[in-house]
Amino acid sequence: MQKFDNSKSAIGGIARFLGLKPGEFFAVVWSFAYFFCIFSAYSMLRPIRDAMAIMGGTQNIPWLFTGTFVVMLLATPVFGWVASRFPRKQFLPWVYYFFIANILIFFALFTYTQNRELDQLWIARAFFVWVSVFNLFVVSIFWSFMADIYSKEQSRRLFGVISAGGSIGGILGPIITATLVIPVGFKNVLPLSALLLLAGVYCIYRLRQWVRRHEEDSNSETVESSKAIGGGALDGIRLLFAKPYFGAIASALILASFVGVVGYTYMLKLAEVTFESTDRQTQVFSWIDMAINALSFIGQLILVKHSVKNIGIGATLALLPIATIIGFALLAIHPVFAVMAGLQIFRRSLTFGFTKPAADMLYTVVTTEEKYKVKNFIETALYRGGDVVSAWAVRMMAGLELSGISLVCMPIAAIWTVIAFWLGKDYKRRDKAISAGQKV
């Protein structure tokens, strides 16, 4: 990348404070804004999704996860085909246009049924499934894009700062929903979410312009390339099983999914008996999400880059499973909503503040094809498949009650910790090999 002097002026001061090098400021600003837009759009919808799950009955949560997984299985090969046939600069914006259209369709359906006093149960269930799919795709594509335009060295310095854009969006989104849900109704939140997503598309175009202007060479493998990635629609699955590195990433994600589903399921069950109305439940979920993202912001903007630098990616990835062990130990003793809400805030703030930026750095030592195909498959279809298995497993263990299931989660988190340290070690091996010009 070509370097420009931004050492003078207020911009230079901000750049130095955030650890940016000359020429990076405007790219980071647009990346930050991009993530802010898509994550605030999602964060406005998430509390509504959770309330829809309670409306359909918490006993049916495994079916909602199953429906999400089936839709994900259908969507992933389609995305793989699109990524194989069309240049990234073409298909990235259109993925977001597709989801914007979906949001407006749900707005129309909710408005129509409400005005005619029709049952909204199945629309609510469809909305739960759709939001769960929407979230994984738009966020996974975002980080694939980031790994595509920034180098390994830049990712270590910049991904935490860029992630903070998502956290600010994650703070604003729930506040908007909590504020508007009672006076205007949840359905009227949807067009605002679509508008923010459209602003995210504009950020993509600005980042493409930056890449086009500031590349040092004419490397055809950048996001501005007119060349498609190539390969087949199911290459993500093939590549996953070809390398232990991706197998470890997938294993860690599945274990994380299990303990996450446990926390999510029992938070909804405890909320159902603690708060009576759907609007009140939506507000509570909104404030929980706001707290999570406020704490995540601190980690992403200030702490994660120092964590990766000083203790390494492996230890940074291990922070979440270690915290999970401690949290479920407390929950086994006091299985009440306040403790569960505290655990969810603690775990998810670590996820977004430390684990997610560090996990995305793992993909800076893989090929372009692997960034878009393996990463997308792991973080969409495989992740939701883990949710399905976990949800049904939790239902089968319902007789243990929350205290008993908490004790099951602790050794699972211990295995997850070991995998995290191994990933950190293999990341270093891959990084050294690439620096030496070797294949990995």
Tokens 């997984």 locate to 69
Q: What is the pLDDT of residues 132-141, one digit of tens each?
A: 888 877 887 8
Across the range 205-219, mean pLDDT stands at 69
Amino acid at 224: E
Q: What is the pLDDT of residues 428-437, one digit of tens each?
A: 888 888 777 7
CA distance 37 to 162: 12
| Mean pLDDT lowest among 31-35, 132-136, 211-215, 404-408 | 211-215
- pLDDT score, position 241: 77
DSSP letters for 62-79 = HHHHHHHHHHHHHHHHHH
- pLDDT score, position 155: 75
Q: H helices within 56-120, ranges in order?
A: 61-85, 88-115
| Mean pLDDT lowest among 190-199, 216-225, 289-298 | 216-225
- pLDDT score, position 233: 44
CA distance 430 to 335: 43
- pLDDT score, position 218: 39
| DSSP-derived secondary structure letter, 216 | S
| Contact residues for 298 (Cβ-Cβ < 8 A; gap 6+) | 353
What is the rounded (10 degree) CA torsion for 38, 39, 41, 44? 180
CA distance 412 to 186: 37
Amino acid at 420: A
Radius of gyration of the chain (CA): 21
Residue 180 has pLDDT above 70, yes or no: yes
Residue 300 has pLDDT above 90, yes or no: no
CA distance 28 to 208: 13
Q: What is the pLDDT of residues 265-293, one digit of tens each?
A: 889 888 888 887 777 888 888 989 888 87
Query: Looking at per-residue confidence, does 421 or 16 come out higher?
Result: 421
- pLDDT bin (cut points 50, 70, 90) of residue 148 is confident
Residue 223 has pLDDT above 60, yes or no: no
Q: What is the pLDDT of residues 81-102, one digit of tens each?
A: 776 676 666 677 888 899 999 9
Q: What is the residue-averaged pLDDT of the chain?
A: 81
Q: Are 365 and 440 in contact (CB under 8 A)?
A: yes
- Domain ranges, ordered by start, for the chain: 9-433
- pLDDT bin (cut points 50, 70, 90) of residue 6 is very low
Residue 226 has pLDDT above 80, yes or no: no
Q: Are 406 and 331 in contact (CB under 8 A)?
A: yes
- pLDDT score, position 90: 66
Across the range 58-69, mean pLDDT stands at 87
- pLDDT score, position 296: 78
> Does the domain formed by 9-433 have CATH 1.20.1250.20?
yes
Residue 438 has pLDDT above 80, yes or no: no
Estimate to the nearest angstrom the gap between the alpha carbon of 17 and the chain centroid: 26
Across the range 306-315, mean pLDDT stands at 82
The closest alpha carbon to 46, from 194, 187, 183, 174, belongs to 174
- 321-330 burial, b for 16+ CB within 10 Å, e for fewer? bbbbbebbee
- pLDDT score, position 411: 94
Residue 318 has pLDDT above 60, yes or no: yes
| Mean pLDDT lowest among 5-19, 25-39, 148-162, 285-299 | 5-19
Q: What is the pLDDT of residues 350-370, one digit of tens each?
A: 887 788 888 888 887 877 777
- pLDDT bin (cut points 50, 70, 90) of residue 18 is low
Q: What is the pLDDT of residues 393-413, one digit of tens each?
A: 988 887 888 888 999 999 999
Whether the CA torsion 237, 72, 413, 304 is positive or negative: it is positive
- pLDDT score, position 2: 39
